[in-house]
Structure 1
């Protein structure tokens, strides 16, 4: 598997990746001749690379994933430019995801890399909420996801009718029709049918992929803006929900994650695209405000705290999405805005919420030896 450094710094941009990928997938000269499976995986990797290289320039622009994947992806470049932060320990969700990734063989890692990137593109550019969406590997989260997006559409004062909520399912990779639609987004038409057939073949001939049920294939969620491929949407991965459940956050998982991703839509609506950790911490704050608010879920103090610990579990240590302490502090700040209002039924306008958070944000970014949570409590 790739090193941690490559995981955070080597996520590849949509354009100009062919040379880098050729190096990443090259077979050492001393290695034995590749097996049929190895040839299939290498060809699929190249097909997915060609697909991303053939996309319009703005196809993946602005797409914001919840976490930086443990498997290097073809797609939007990581924003992590520094790190690791001394003394920082990454959140429990990232730790667990990296443990899963470390158990993959190089062949499984390469196959999962290609298919996870392909699956993201399917849910971004092809999937639609005009067909029934099933959330969770067995549909167990469908009612909660539908309820949450409904509440959010009525809660925030942004255009919401065209924000789709779509399910990100690894098993979709087993449909040649869906994969053909996906490859048609950017691959040469003459190659689409064969590439789609190869994707489903690799899914089932590499045991570690579990026929699409390996959680790493969909261990993420993302928000996409209006001008990206497929338009405004929130995607919710089955692998993420399964993992969050395993870590003990099932009570708040769907509502917290969808609330966070919808927070990106709040930022998109106001053309707020900060190039620092506030791009992730802001949606944590907006999500915290929503779940604690009387017109949101009005969750009690214990449940609010569980949300902040879920926020912390996604924190990283690479100046990318915010450390666990910073993510926790942002969520707690948002919750406090809801519970300390004079009028508990008033919803702060979204533009004002962004302004309030950007003002407090520097106070949530303490030196490494000062916990962010303490500063957040001090500054309200």
Structure 2
């Protein structure tokens, strides 16, 4: 990917469109037709005639004000900024045998699926997908967000103190240059309550410079988000269901975005609903900071693995690094059993996409990586000593074959 963006959670709900090739965002004056092909459902045409009259009018106005190549522009922007975890349909370069591993549906996936199916107007949901509306809070946090004392985390600010404090602890704990890493929240309703914020994201997504046009589009988007009460004006977890680390380190064409960790309200809501609100948010943040350790130590490139196995390695490493911090006496000093009990449930987000370049590891593998991190912290002869990150990496590389070994039972 052009930008190095590591996703903590990809349940396939916030932005389910599978990306095609990033096409040049060339200018065009013509408008699109009223029926377009959804990339979320290949081959399925979305027809405005199925919408309610009020929503149809808004969608038709959107289509009339967008350039003819708006879908290509949206996909090009997503590729440029790493908004989506790219999952190419024809990429099959994994050598993992799915039959070797335990993998199945989880409560986390059931919750994620319920968010999508819970929207009353499924045609409206599909159009929001196609227009990229579920991506707008992500763009806002990634491109325009910044660390500030006034920032809050969680829909009601309930995680502000916990995450802000942990962010400082993480910087003190790890032996990397971390002064420039910003901790940024991702909110939904706050963004969709501001025509200006929506407009600047739409301008970025579609390359539209005409201010009156982009302002009209912003009003249409806000009206669409408010058209279904289940969307909660943008506070539905669908809009902010993710957390990620971002860095342009080594990028030949940087956009000038600072190193950051973005924490979405939606993932924090999910953790709370599933009974993981105690240590879950801390685990997410510690995992994402683990990615920044990888950025600074150039650990992404320090491997001969390719494709899904390369991604799995870095994700499992971040799991282990995060738990090492959480359970270390000079980190968060949390009880290892409580942390692992939380993570055993939290890492249900582990996936079975063995042939996807975004493969994060199975639930069992992710839990094994976390258990390894806790054991390194708890079994150390000198409990006050923090291992250098490069030393910890060497220990992880030696343990990785054991973490990913087949575990299926016959």
TM exceeding 0.5 = yes
Question: Which whole-Å CA distance do the structure 1 matches of 2:78 and 2:370 have between them?
Answer: 35
After TM superposition, the structure 1 = structure 2 runs for residues 209-224 of structure 1, keeping only pairs within 5 Å, are 209-224=231-246
SS of 1:277's equivalent in the other structure is helix
Q: Deviations over 1:348-375 (max 9, x none)?
A: 111222232122112111225169xxxx
Q: Which residue of 2 aligns with 1:152?
A: 170
Q: Which residue of 1 aligns with 2:5?
A: none
8 Å contact kept, 2:55–2:224: yes
SS of 2:176's equivalent in the other structure is coil
Cα gap change, 1:38 to 1:335, in 2 (>3 Å):
farther
Query: Is there any run of 5+ residues in structure 1 with no aligned partner, and where?
Result: 64-74, 372-380
- Structure-2-length-normalised TM-score: 0.76
Question: Which whole-Å CA distance do the structure 2 matches of 1:157 and 1:209 have between them?
Answer: 42
After TM superposition, the structure 1 = structure 2 runs for residues 345-360 of structure 1, keeping only pairs within 5 Å, are 345-360=384-399
> Is it true that 1:78 corresponds to 2:96 in the alignment?
no
Deviates more, 1:95-104 or 1:6-15: 6-15
Cα gap change, 1:260 to 1:55, in 2 (>3 Å):
same
SS of 1:344's equivalent in the other structure is coil
Question: Which whole-Å CA distance do the structure 2 matches of 1:248 and 1:128 have between them?
Answer: 30
Deviates more, 1:255-264 or 1:25-34: 25-34
Q: Which residue of 1 aligns with 2:294?
A: 267
Runs of 4+ in 1 over 6 A off after TM superposition: 4-9, 45-48
Cα gap change, 1:217 to 1:42, in 2 (>3 Å):
farther
Please point out which of 38, 56, 59 is paired with 1:24: 38
> Is it true that 1:177 corresponds to 2:231 in the alignment?
no
Please point out which of 317, 321, 334 is paired with 1:299: 334
* Cα drift, residue 331 of structure 1: 0.7
Cα gap change, 1:137 to 1:51, in 2 (>3 Å):
farther
8 Å contact kept, 2:242–2:266: yes
SS of 2:185's equivalent in the other structure is strand
Q: Which residue of 2 aligns with 1:109?
A: 125
* Cα drift, residue 54 of structure 1: 5.8
Question: Which whole-Å CA distance do the structure 2 matches of 1:242 and 1:344 have between them?
Answer: 34
- State the Cα RMSD in Å: 3.4
After TM superposition, the structure 1 = structure 2 runs for residues 285-364 of structure 1, keeping only pairs within 5 Å, are 285-319=320-354, 320-364=359-403
> How many residues end up aligned between the 2 structures?
354
Question: Which whole-Å CA distance do the structure 2 matches of 1:29 and 1:202 have between them?
Answer: 16
8 Å contact kept, 2:352–2:362: yes
Deviates more, 1:188-197 or 1:291-300: 188-197
SS of 1:122's equivalent in the other structure is helix
* Cα drift, residue 181 of structure 1: 2.4
* Cα drift, residue 128 of structure 1: 1.0
* Cα drift, residue 37 of structure 1: 1.1
Cα gap change, 1:164 to 1:84, in 2 (>3 Å):
farther
- Structure-1-length-normalised TM-score: 0.82
Query: Is there any run of 5+ residues in structure 2 with no aligned partner, and where?
Result: 1-10, 26-31, 302-309
The structure with more radius of gyration: 2
